[in-house]
């Protein structure tokens, strides 16, 4: 179960929903038997899932559950890592410590392919006691060009203070800017955390009802209009999501929101016509 309040807990108290979503993990662990479960794998914030930002109650309850049943926790930091949420890693924002943390994307800002996995000392110590080395060699491990780019990228992040800037300046500004869209007839919710944002498109304000009662009808239309207007966003079902570069300026954020509003205005008559014809 996703901790997706707008889609799966609409009308419910968000903190109560967060607990319910976390306890769905516990129910699954108990259903299959804790001794059969190696790990729970989750993103601190689901990126490609639609910028699903969990309620504050979610992660503390997940941590309670994995500790209670002796299950490892894998925090997928591919999207949230390297400053996206205003901390170096997403799990730091939420105040929990995973056992394993895969990472990629932000390690080199995507300029060259590189990934890495952080593993707790406890896991490595257990593997070593089994009588062999901690073997983790792959054909392209430590590619010198990719590693050099990653080091240069991290140096820029540190030198220009981009992680702190995301936390104190551009992240809060994005949240404020997106709120300008809240009164639009097509907008059911805006949400953001750091430099991750989402706009939910609905057919009726104040609800989470989708056009033609079919999820995924409106999202592609608004997405294409945004792209035509010069803004590259992603349409995930009926959610317009954005993941702007950490160097974005407040003026560029204003422009981004302006393009989204223009796209929403242009999409409105088309979507109403589709609904009328359905």
How do residues 53-80 score in pLDDT, each as one tens digit? 999 999 999 999 999 999 999 999 999 9
- Supply the pLDDT for residue 278: 80
What is the residue whose two structure tokens read 């407040």?
Answer: 250
- Supply the pLDDT for residue 127: 84
The conformational region for residue 206 under phi > 0 = left, psi -120 to 50 = alpha, else beta, is: left
**Is 153 in contact with 107 (CB distance < 8 Å)?**
yes
Domains along the chain with CATH numbers: 5-159 (3.40.640.10), 162-277 (3.90.1150.10)
How do residues 39-56 score in pLDDT, each as one tens digit? 999 999 999 999 999 999
- Supply the pLDDT for residue 147: 95
pLDDT band per the 50, 70, 90 thresholds, residue 139 = confident
- Which residues have C-beta within 8 Å of that of residue 104, sequence separation ≥ 6? 78, 81, 113, 114, 115, 116
How far apart CA 27 and CA 34 sit, in angstroms, is 10
Instruction: Write down the number of H helices and E strands in the chain.
Output: 10, 8
Q: Is the pLDDT reported for residue 225 higher than 80?
A: yes
Residue from 99, 92, 79, 97 nearest 37 by CA:
99
DSSP state of 77: -
Paired with 101 in beta bridges are 118
Average pLDDT over residues 82-98: 97
pLDDT band per the 50, 70, 90 thresholds, residue 122 = very high
What is the residue whose two structure tokens read 């500790």?
Answer: 67
How far apart CA 226 and CA 266 sit, in angstroms, is 10
How do residues 144-198 score in pLDDT, each as one tens digit? 999 999 999 999 999 999 999 999 999 999 999 999 999 999 999 999 999 999 9
């Amino acid at each position: 179960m996703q901790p997706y309040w707008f889609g799966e807990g609409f009308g419910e108290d968000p903190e109560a929903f967060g607990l319910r979503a976390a306890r769905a993990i516990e129910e699954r662990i108990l259903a299959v038997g804790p001794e059969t479960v190696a790990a729970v794998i989750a993103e601190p914030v689901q990126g490609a899932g639609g910028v699903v930002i969990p309620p504050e109650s979610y992660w503390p309850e997940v941590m309670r559950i994995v500790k209670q049943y002796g299950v490892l926790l894998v925090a997928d930091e591919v999207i949230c890592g390297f400053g996206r949420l205003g901390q170096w890693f997403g799990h730091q924002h939420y105040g929990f410590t995973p056992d394993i943390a895969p990472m990629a994307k932000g390690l080199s800002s995507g300029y060259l392919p590189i990934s890495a996995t952080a593993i707790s000392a406890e896991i490595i110590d257990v593997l070593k006691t089994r009588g062999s080395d901690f073997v983790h060699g792959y054909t392209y491990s430590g590619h010198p060009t990719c590693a050099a780019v990653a080091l240069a990228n991290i140096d820029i992040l540190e030198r220009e203070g981009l992680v702190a800037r995301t936390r104190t300046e551009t992240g809060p500004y994005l949240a404020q800017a997106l709120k300008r869209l809240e009164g639009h007839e097509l907008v059911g919710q805006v949400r953001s955390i750091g430099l991750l944002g989402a706009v939910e498109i609905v057919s009726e304000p104040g609800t989470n009802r989708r056009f033609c009662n079919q999820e995924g009808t409106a999202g592609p239309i608004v997405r294409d209009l945004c792209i035509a207007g010069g803004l590259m966003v992603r349409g995930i079902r009926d959610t317009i999501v954005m993941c702007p570069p950490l160097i974005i300026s407040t003026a560029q954020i204003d422009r981004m929101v302006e393009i989204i509003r223009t796209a929403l205005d242009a999409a409105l008559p088309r979507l109403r016509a589709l609904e009328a014809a359905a």
